[in-house]
Amino acid sequence: MWFSKSTEEIIHELSVNPETGLSTAEAQARLEKYGQNKLKGKPKKSTLELFFAQLQDMLIYVLLGAAVITIAVGEWVDAIIILMVVFLNATIGVIQESKAEKAIEALEKMTTPRSLVRRDGEVREINSEDVVAGDIVILDAGRYVPADLRLIESANLQIEESALTGESLPTEKNAKDLHEDPKTPIGEKSNMAFMSTLATYGRGEGVVIATAMETEIGKIATILDEDIDSMTPLQKRLEELGKTLGYIAIAITVVMLVIALVQDRPLFEMFLTAISLAVAAIPEGLPAIVAIVLALGVTRMSRINAIVRKLPAVETLGSVNIICSDKTGTLTQNKMTVVKFYTAGNLTNVATEGRSFAAQNTDEKELIRSFVLCSDATYENGKSTGDPTEVALVVLAEKYDMERRKLHKEHKRVGEKPFDSDRKLMSTLNQDENGYRVHTKGALDNILKISSTALVDGKVVSLTEEMKEDYLKVAEKMSDDALRVLGAAFKDTNSIINPEEMEEDLTVVGLVGMIDPPRLEVKDSIAKAKGAGITPVMITGDHKNTAVAIAKELGIASSLEQSITGSEIDELSEEEFLRKIKNYRVFARVSPEHKVKIVKAFQFHGNIVSMTGDGVNDAPALKIADIGVAMGITGTDVSKGASDMILTDDNFTTIVHAIEEGRNIYNNIKKSVIFLLSCNLGEVVAIFLAVLFNWPLPLLATQILWINLITDSFPAIALGIDPGDKDVMSKEPRKPKDSFFAHGAGQRAIIGGTLIGILTLVAFYFGLAEFGYSLNSKDIPEHVITNARTMAFVVLAGAQLFFSFSMRSMHKSVFRIGLFSNMYLVGAVILGFILQLGVITIPAFANAFKVQNLSVYDWGLVMLFSIVPFIVNEVSKLFMKESEI
Ligand code: ATP
């Protein structure tokens, strides 16, 4: 039993030296022998299952019904074509779905949790799947435990084990505990950490004793793929629309059959008509096309460093009108450098390059020593690990010839109270010459609150109000210059004390000011966001003045009045805060729970809010925000798990790019859908008018199916990957409630569709008229009908193909966008015409689809008709107001 053995025994058993960890070669060998550290998920659906899943669809039922009817009336060829279409549709569906799934899987891979392990003597971050038994794993707050561990070191480590035990309160862990009782329940094994649980506080180190299915969670194997609802609201609405159209189609079929019976019309013909109408009403290719466009879109977004974790986010992105962003690392470079420090009465400037220098007095030495001992970061041979704020402190010490490694060796750490963003403090207890010393660093205001004395010229003196003011004044001045200020304090004790007792009665030593330059590209992105009707807002744990100074530099805020601190928020009543929130652009000194309050207040006014976060406590805010954005580099596993999108470069600019991309993807889906629906409308109009006026049927069901599934699909996909509109970021965000058919899109579909339908009938009429028949003639010979139907068939396909160009923008002329700026569409339209030509000239196809080749004159005529809807649509755009364009 691992939990009843001493750490020495375990280390021996697993042949690893905790100081250096495994060697790369050994880890590799173990990985090959025992396999990856992965839990087996639900078995994947087989291709056959996927195929049958495709058939469970309202639209397919209608088609299968049609096939049965055609068989019943003896139209074998039609039945075969319909069945082939069903088969083809399901096959395409399977291909699209697995393609989309692969794209999503690839994205998931990019966000698989990573673990800190010690290998070859250094700490490395590796994919959790590559962790092997014997690895030394380092845990810190916010990280998932990658495998089952026997802890060998712990500092206030708390782990939330609800995945395993159902208990949501974190349990305290202690590496030194031993449990003799072999029946110790999992929840009480305080010297162990289990796979898939979450470190919420403190630090620890453990040796991996089991991986993958050997772990406790693997044994009970209850986790498994959460079935996240990955349909976007739009897809859901489209599914509803599809269903409704399916029901309408069935209803129409029934009604028409009843009419046929009542009026005593030929039943067979009515069957055919009913099926044609049903087929015409249903956009068969739509769900697959939307899925693939979304998948292509998210893949494209991953290339610009935005990984979409939840598909609905793509749609919501387009509506975001407030971006709440952390400051450090997202708006700034997170490359901290100490440029000034202050001890009682002495302000020192630090040269940014090279070593320093000035002989230090005791206070300065003490200041640097406290900062270094109270830091976990390392900096060796120009390479650093850990929090950039702490790296800056360690680098400062190097400059003053105070080596971190040496200091830590001489003053071994025996206790600590880790940093958290609520207290904004961190403390450690280190051995000292005459006992122990607490070193505390953090926000200066908080340091002053817990200090009663100060260090002045090496002596500890009472901390007077004047001295406090003096420190604050210096800090304020630094903050105004956009410096991040950090204070340090200490206290001596005779014995080891608990973390709870550390942060009281301290002696202030002084403070440092560090620069963290804004990211260069962010200023432009902020201007771009503002131009797109989006308000950028800064939310930071940092000091108000520092935050405002940077916000001003970046163009987020223009004055101090636009800022508020966390404690000022607490003083306001809920209503007041709701009322005033619109005035603020900078929220400083906030803790994670303020973030929730801020998001809710903005949402109260109907805003769509995106919020960034990286810490353990940020998860609630990320979940509540419309778009929760986690940081890929500095973010904890928890924040990533709670987010909708992850920025792989932690950069604000990426959020703005993602919004732009989100707007484009939505617009493109809209173009595809409106295009497909206007085509369907055209078909319905043609058939419906024919039924209404008792004309011969201008199109057969199989012909309509061919167009819906073959000729139309290519332009629809090409529209889905249309290059983004250059002006997409000069428009206001889309209102989430806006219907798909808003802003003239519905009208365009109706006008376009009706025109296509009428022109199809006109072509049909011309086809009949060439042989001296009219729409009302009786007993028209078969070859005349076939000729007329072929003309209608080609016009229907051709008009839709040409019309697709016009769908690239609802308002702008396609000539303005550039006829050839989407070569996929050009290719798709050419392909569509080739296929159309093929089907009427290749005899086998022509027979099956009951069409025939056309004369040159007829070709000219159908081409002329085909281009009309495109021209009408383009001309109507000329009459649009400039403001609408
Ligand atoms: P943002 O929320 O924009 O990322 P931030 O990084 O300043 O801003 P926090 O990390 O919550 O936010 O830090 C808040 C404050 O806590 C800082 O202004 C600083 O005073 C203090 N602080 C930050 N890091 C440490 C640390 N490692 N040890 C002690 N105090 C720290």
pLDDT in tens, 410-434: 999 999 998 988 899 999 999 998 8
The pLDDT, as a whole number, for residue 155 is 87
Evaluate whether residue 684 is within a structural domain.
yes
As to burial, measured by CB atoms within 10 angstroms (0-12 exposed, 13-18 middle, 19+ buried), residue 423 is middle
Instruction: Kindly state the percentage of the chain with pLDDT values over 90.
Output: 47
The pLDDT, as a whole number, for residue 111 is 63
The answer, yes or no, to whether any atom of ligand 1 lies below 6 A from the CB of 486, is: yes
Tell me: do 373 and 343 sit in the same domain: yes
* C-alpha separations of 288 from 93, 529, 674, 691, 825 in Å: 6, 33, 15, 31, 18
The pLDDT, as a whole number, for residue 208 is 94
Tell me: do 348 and 381 sit in the same domain: yes
The mean pLDDT of the chain is 87
Evaluate whether residue 500 is within a structural domain.
yes
pLDDT in tens, 680-735: 889 988 988 888 788 888 998 889 888 887 788 889 989 998 998 888 898 889 88
**Distance, CA of 655 to CA of 612 (rounded, Å):** 9
The answer, yes or no, to whether any atom of ligand 1 lies below 6 A from the CB of 179, is: no
What mean pLDDT comes out for the span 21-41? 88
Catalytic residue set: 326
**Distance, CA of 795 to CA of 866 (rounded, Å):** 5
**Residue 142 or residue 106, greater confidence:** 142
The pLDDT, as a whole number, for residue 225 is 44
Tell me: do 685 and 624 sit in the same domain: no
Evaluate whether residue 358 is within a structural domain.
yes
Tell me: do 759 and 795 sit in the same domain: yes
The answer, yes or no, to whether any atom of ligand 1 lies below 6 A from the CB of 419, is: yes
The pLDDT, as a whole number, for residue 147 is 92
The answer, yes or no, to whether any atom of ligand 1 lies below 6 A from the CB of 516, is: no
Lowest mean pLDDT among 380-389, 433-442, 620-629: 380-389
The pLDDT, as a whole number, for residue 224 is 41
Evaluate whether residue 82 is within a structural domain.
no
The total of structural domains in the chain comes to 4
Task: Give me 111's structure tokens.
Answer: 């966000």
The pLDDT, as a whole number, for residue 659 is 95
Contacts of 276 (CB under 8 A, 6+ apart): 687, 697, 699, 700, 701, 704
DSSP 264: T
pLDDT in tens, 152-169: 999 889 998 877 777 778
The answer, yes or no, to whether any atom of ligand 1 lies below 6 A from the CB of 327, is: yes
Phi, psi values for residue 632, rounded to 5°: -70, -35
Q: Which of 514, 547, 576 is the last residue of a domain?
A: 514
CA of 883 to the centre of ligand 1 (A): 46
**Residue 247 or residue 370, greater confidence:** 370
The pLDDT, as a whole number, for residue 507 is 97
Residue 485: pLDDT band with limits 50, 70, 90:
very high
Range of the domain at 500: 339-514
What mean pLDDT comes out for the span 573-589? 94
The pLDDT, as a whole number, for residue 219 is 77
Tell me: do 293 and 351 sit in the same domain: no
Evaluate whether residue 79 is within a structural domain.
no
Task: Give me 192's structure tokens.
Answer: 């162990």
Q: Which of 491, 514, 537 is the last residue of a domain?
A: 514
**Distance, CA of 815 to CA of 20 (rounded, Å):** 66
The pLDDT, as a whole number, for residue 748 is 85
The answer, yes or no, to whether any atom of ligand 1 lies below 6 A from the CB of 441, is: yes
Residue 18: pLDDT band with limits 50, 70, 90:
confident
**Distance, CA of 93 to CA of 801 (rounded, Å):** 22
Tell me: do 237 and 359 sit in the same domain: no
Q: What CATH number corresponds to the domain at position 587? A: 3.40.50.1000
The pLDDT, as a whole number, for residue 95 is 80
**Distance, CA of 102 to CA of 100 (rounded, Å):** 5
Q: Which of 650, 682, 704 is the last residue of a domain?
A: 650
The pLDDT, as a whole number, for residue 355 is 59
CA of 778 to the centre of ligand 1 (A): 86
Q: Is the pLDDT of residue 883 over 60?
A: no
* Closest-CA residue to 784 (of 758, 761, 764): 764
The answer, yes or no, to whether any atom of ligand 1 lies below 6 A from the CB of 376, is: no
Q: What CATH number corresponds to the domain at position 30? A: 2.70.150.10
Phi, psi values for residue 454, rounded to 5°: -140, 155
Tell me: do 482 and 629 sit in the same domain: no
Tell me: do 634 and 696 sit in the same domain: no
Evaluate whether residue 478 is within a structural domain.
yes
With H, G, I as helix, E, B as strand and everything else as coil, classify residue 816.
helix
The pLDDT, as a whole number, for residue 143 is 86
Residue 345: pLDDT band with limits 50, 70, 90:
confident
The pLDDT, as a whole number, for residue 693 is 84
What mean pLDDT comes out for the span 594-608? 93
CA of 542 to the centre of ligand 1 (A): 6
Q: Is the pLDDT of residue 648 over 60?
A: yes
Q: Candidates 338, 542, 565, 585: which one to mutate for ligand 1, based on the most atoms within 8 Å of Cβ?
A: 542
- DSSP H stretches of helix in 693-708: 701-706
Tell me: do 668 and 625 sit in the same domain: no
Contacts of 11 (CB under 8 A, 6+ apart): 17, 18, 152, 207
The pLDDT, as a whole number, for residue 762 is 96
Contacts of 415 (CB under 8 A, 6+ apart): 155, 428, 429, 496, 497, 498, 499, 502
As to burial, measured by CB atoms within 10 angstroms (0-12 exposed, 13-18 middle, 19+ buried), residue 571 is exposed
Which residue is closest in CA terms to ligand 1's atom 14? 541
Lowest mean pLDDT among 98-112, 225-239, 316-330: 225-239
pLDDT in tens, 747-804: 888 999 999 999 999 999 999 999 999 888 888 899 999 999 999 999 999 999 999 9
Tell me: do 168 and 203 sit in the same domain: yes
* Most distant CA pair in the chain, distance: 116
CA of 421 to the centre of ligand 1 (A): 7
Identity of the residue numbered 332:
T
Contacts of 481 (CB under 8 A, 6+ apart): 513, 549
**Distance, CA of 545 to CA of 565 (rounded, Å):** 10
- Which atom of ligand 1 is least distant from the CA of 444? 20
What mean pLDDT comes out for the span 162-182? 83
pLDDT in tens, 815-838: 888 888 999 999 999 999 999 999
| Residue position matching structure tokens 């809209």 | 670
Which residue is closest in CA terms to ligand 1's atom 30? 442
Q: What angle do CA 464, 469, 474 make, to 5 degrees?
A: 130
CA of 315 to the centre of ligand 1 (A): 33
Evaluate whether residue 507 is within a structural domain.
yes
Pairing of strands 535-539, 322-326: parallel
Residue 515: pLDDT band with limits 50, 70, 90:
very high
Q: pTM score > 0.75 for this model?
A: yes
Q: Is the pLDDT of residue 89 over 70?
A: yes
Lowest mean pLDDT among 9-13, 260-264, 400-404: 260-264
Residue-wise DSSP of 721-771: TPPPPGGGGGSPPPPTT--TTTTTHHHHHHHHHHHHHHHHHHHHHHHHHTT
What mean pLDDT comes out for the span 207-216? 89
Q: What angle do CA 285, 256, 756 make, to 5 degrees?
A: 45
CA of 513 to the centre of ligand 1 (A): 13
The pLDDT, as a whole number, for residue 60 is 78
Task: Give me 509's structure tokens.
Answer: 């030593």
Query: E strands, 260-334, where?
Result: 306-308, 322-326
* C-alpha separations of 268 from 102, 271, 684, 874 in Å: 46, 5, 20, 42
Residue 227: pLDDT band with limits 50, 70, 90:
very low
Pairing of strands 563-565, 586-588: parallel
**Distance, CA of 383 to CA of 391 (rounded, Å):** 10
Which residue is closest in CA terms to ligand 1's atom 5? 541
Tell me: do 291 and 310 sit in the same domain: no
**Distance, CA of 522 to CA of 536 (rounded, Å):** 11
CB count within 10 Å of CB 466 equals 8
- Which atom of ligand 1 is least distant from the CA of 374? 28
Q: What CATH number corresponds to the domain at position 442? A: 3.40.1110.10
DSSP 144: B
What mean pLDDT comes out for the span 363-371? 93
Tell me: do 523 and 510 sit in the same domain: no
CA of 551 to the centre of ligand 1 (A): 17
The answer, yes or no, to whether any atom of ligand 1 lies below 6 A from the CB of 541, is: yes
The answer, yes or no, to whether any atom of ligand 1 lies below 6 A from the CB of 858, is: no
Q: What CATH number corresponds to the domain at position 248? A: 1.20.1110.10
**Distance, CA of 710 to CA of 724 (rounded, Å):** 25
The residues that bridge with 332 in the sheet, in sequence order, are 518
The answer, yes or no, to whether any atom of ligand 1 lies below 6 A from the CB of 424, is: yes
Evaluate whether residue 60 is within a structural domain.
no
**Distance, CA of 17 to CA of 106 (rounded, Å):** 35
- Which atom of ligand 1 is least distant from the CA of 329? 4
